Amino acid sequence: MSARPRALGYALAALSAVVVLGLGLRIAGQLGDLKSAQGDLADATHTAAELRGQIAAGVGPPLLDARVAAPSDALAQRLKGLGVAVRQSALVAATPAGRNLVVARFVAEGEADPVALDRLALWAQANARSAILESLTATAAADGKSDVKIELDALVREAGVRPS
């Protein structure tokens, strides 16, 4: 009779060893999956950081701040500073461009001499990451000034948002 309990004990020990070995293999597989997921997460984090850097390099700082003044008025003041006598400045379209930013399309009309037009072109070139001079139409007048129509896209910080 003692042979049966020993056989049962050996069978139970063998079954326990198989169960422990199976659980060990399962845990090893899960650890491999965890390490793979951690590697994927590290790659995704690195890719996200690269994309943020590319976005920051591609989009410049806001050219106008809607929290301070109406964007069309602020643009009119900038143009006046460049020597353009602005008769009318209007915001005609706006598209979201990121957190707290919009790309705004402005149309301005006024008068300018050739030096002011040159300053305007240089200003747009110096702010190339924040503004795009879409079109500049000038019609010469007898007094040396030209009637101008300016279409400009510019980055604008949205109103009601605190600086980050």
pLDDT value at position 9? 87
Contacts 24+ apart (CB under 8 A), 122-128: 123/78, 123/82, 124/152, 127/60, 127/63, 128/60
**Which helix (H) or strand (E) element contains residue 139?**
strand 131-140
Chunk the chain into consecutive blocks of 10 residues (it has 164) and report each block's average pLDDT, rounded to whole numbers.
Answer: 77 91 92 92 87 67 84 92 93 85 92 92 90 90 88 86 45
Q: Is 148 exposed, middle or buried (0-12, 13-18, 19+ CB in 10 A)?
A: buried
